[in-house]
Amino acid sequence: MSGEKMFSASFFGFKKKDVNSYLEKMNKEYEEKIRSKEKDIADIKAQYRDIKGKYDELNSSIAQLQEDREKIANAIITAQEKAEAILNEARKQATDEKKKLERQVEEEKEKLVDIKQEIKLIKGEIVHTLNKYEGELSKIIQE
C-alpha cells in the first residue's frame, strides 16, 4: 500500500475522483497482496502436506524397522537357546556314551582276566596231561 496520499482540494472537500481512484488503487493493491498471501499460504500448506507425508512415511518406516529389529532379536535369542539346548544334549549324550564305553571296557577287561585264568587252567591241565602221557610212555618204553 502506498504511504500517505494528498488529495486535491475542491469546493466541498476533496475531489471525489481522486479519492475514488486512490481507493480503487488501494483496493487493487490490497487484493493483489491478499492473493499473494493466499498463494504463499497455499504453497506453505502444500509443503506442509509434503513434509507431513514424508514424516508419516518415516514414522511408518521407523515402526517397521523397530518391529523387524524385535523379530530379529527374538530370532537370535531363540537360536541361541536352541544352540545351547543342542550343545547340552550333545554333551549329555557324549557323557553317557563315554560312561557306556568305560563300562564295556571294564567288562572286556574282566572277560580278559577270566579268559587268562581259563587259559592258565587249561595250560595247567595240558601240562598235567602231557606229564601223565609222558609218564605212561616212559613206562611203556621201559617195559
Of 139 and 104, the structure prediction assigns the larger pLDDT to 104
Quote the pTM value. 0.46
The CA distance from 38 to 50, in Å, is 18
pLDDT at 9 exceeding the cut of 80? no
Query: What percent of the chain stands above pLDDT 70?
Result: 90
pLDDT at 1 exceeding the cut of 50? no
| Section 47-61 average pLDDT | 95
Contact residues for 1 (Cβ-Cβ < 8 A; gap 6+)? 26, 29, 30, 33
- For the segment 20-38, what is each residue's pLDDT rounded down to a tens digit? 888 899 999 999 999 999 9
Contact residues for 10 (Cβ-Cβ < 8 A; gap 6+)? 16
* Per-residue model confidence (pLDDT) at position 7: 52
* Per-residue model confidence (pLDDT) at position 139: 84
